[in-house]
Structures are given as structure tokens and as C-alpha cells.
Amino acid sequence: MITRRSVMEGAAGFLFAHTLFAQGNGPSTKVVFTHDVPDLTIKNWSATAVEVSYAPGASSAAHRHPGITIAYVLGGEIRSKVGDEPEKTYTAGEMFLETPGQIHAVSRNASTTRPAKLLAILLAEKNSQLTSPAQDR
């Protein structure tokens, strides 16, 4: 059984090894995001990466995801409100996290003149519907 602890231990080992490698002539590294994750058993889960592109002024309807979603802004500015957190604007290189079932009430391009793009990494049970309207619960 894969648990949150085993995932975190594996990730920590990878980061440690990567840091040792980076001390040589390899790339440099820096932590850009840290967030606690809920205690979950992730047996029979998969990871899916989705690139989300917003035209100027475009937005998504309020929605939720069944697992953990980690979002990384690739370009532009994304306005977002997840769960009880305040609404915030994220710029390229910034990240946010959604825990299972949280309402993602606001997800839109903060600009009316420039496009915006984010990469969403969704961790969820295999074959589950990855996004559903907020009112479906």
C-alpha cells in the first residue's frame, strides 16, 4: 500500500539526490512551493498533467477535483480562489494546491489583453472523472 508517508519519503530522497547532483556542474535548484497534503492512501491512483490555456479575460466555471491538484502558472497571470483561501493572483512561476473535493470557485485569466497558461498536475484514482462542476456534490 502506498501512503502519503511513502510518497513524501520518496520525494524527499529524490530531492536530496538532486541537490547532491546540483552541487557539481549540474543545474541549480530552489524550492518554489511547499504545502501540506491531506493524509491519503493513493493505491490505484495515477498522475495526469493538463495544460490549461486562458484567452484574455477567459475563465472556468466553479469546479472541484476528486484528488490533489497542483497548479503551476506557465505564463501570464491567473486569478484563483480555492476553498476558504482568499482570492489571489498568481504569476508565472507561482503555484497553488487543491485538496480533494475543494471548490475552485475562481479560475480566470487576470488580464483582459494577454493570454495566460497553467500546468495542472492531477493526482486521483485511476479512471475517475478529473473535474466536475462545483454543484455536483
Residue 25: give the domain boundaries.
1-31
Are residue 119 and residue 62 in the same domain, yes or no?
Answer: yes
Asked, for residue 89, whether it belongs to a domain, the answer is yes
Pairing state between β 116-125 and 88-91: unpaired
Assess if residue 64 is contained within a domain: yes
Same domain as 58, residue 21 = no
Would you say residue 133 lies in a domain? no
Q: What is the SS3 assignment for 59?
A: strand
Any idea what the CATH number is for the domain that residue 83 is in? 2.60.120.10
In the chain, the number of structural domains is 2
pLDDT tens-digit readout, 28-53: 778 888 888 888 888 899 999 999 99
Indicate the residue type of 73: V
Give the DSSP letter of residue 52.
Answer: E
Any domain includes 134: no
Task: State pLDDT tens for residues 58-83.
Answer: 999 999 999 999 999 999 999 999 99
Percentage of residues of the chain with pLDDT beyond 70 = 80
- Contact present, 78 and 51 (Cβ < 8 Å): no
User: Based on the domain organization, do 55 and 79 belong to the same domain?
Assistant: yes
Asked if residue 106 belongs to a domain, the reply is yes
Question: Based on the domain organization, do 15 and 66 belong to the same domain?
Answer: no
The grid coordinates listed for 64 are 472541484
**74 in a domain, yes or no?**
yes
